[in-house]
Structure 1
Amino acid sequence: MKKKQISILGCGWLGLPLAKNFITQKYVVKGATTSVEKVETLQKAGIQPFVFKLGTTDDPKVYADFLANSDVIVINFPPKRVSNVVETYQKQIREILPFINETQKVIFVSSTSVYQNTNDWVTETLENQPEKESGKAVLAVENILKTHLQDRLTILRFAGLYGYDRVPGRFFANKTDIPNGKAPINMIHQDDCIGLINAIIEKNVWGEIINGCSDAHPLREVFYVLAAKKQGLVPPEFKDSDFVSFKKIANTKSKELLGYTYTYPDPMVFVC
Structure 2
Amino acid sequence: MQSTPIKNISILGCGWFGFAFAKKLVELGFSVKGSTTTNEKLALLSAENIKPYLVNFTSEHIQADEDFFDADALFICIPPKRNSVELNDYPNKIELILAAAKNKTKNII
Q: Same fold (TM over 0.5)?
A: yes
Distance of 1:75 and 1:94 partners within structure 2: 12
Deviation of 1:11 (Å): 0.5
Q: 5 Å matches for 1:5-154?
A: 5-55=8-58, 60=63, 62=64, 64-68=66-70, 70-102=71-103, 104-107=106-109
- The TM-score normalised by the length of structure 1 is 0.35
Distance of 1:57 and 1:21 partners within structure 2: 32
Residue 84 and residue 57 in structure 1: after superposition, are their counterparts in 2 closer, same or farther (change >3 A)? closer
Distance of 2:87 and 2:18 partners within structure 1: 22
Structure 1 portions without partners, runs of 5+? 108-272
Aligned partners of 2:57 and 2:93 also within 8 Å = yes
Deviation of 1:30 (Å): 0.4
More strand by share: 2
Q: How many aligned positions are there? A: 104
Deviation of 1:100 (Å): 2.0
Residue 57 and residue 48 in structure 1: after superposition, are their counterparts in 2 closer, same or farther (change >3 A)? farther
**Alpha-carbon RMSD:** 2.4
Deviation of 1:59 (Å): 6.5
- The TM-score normalised by the length of structure 2 is 0.81
CA-to-aligned-CA distance 1:138-190 (integer Å, 9 cap, x gap): xxxxxxxxxxxxxxxxxxxxxxxxxxxxxxxxxxxxxxxxxxxxxxxxxxxxx
Deviation of 1:80 (Å): 1.3
Aligned partners of 1:19 and 1:31 also within 8 Å = yes
Task: Tell me the SS of whatever aligns to 1:72.
Answer: strand
Distance of 1:41 and 1:28 partners within structure 2: 16
Distance of 1:87 and 1:63 partners within structure 2: 26
Aligned partners of 1:8 and 1:75 also within 8 Å = yes
Q: Which has the larger radius of gyration?
A: 1
Aligned partners of 1:63 and 1:99 also within 8 Å = no
Structure 2 portions without partners, runs of 5+? none
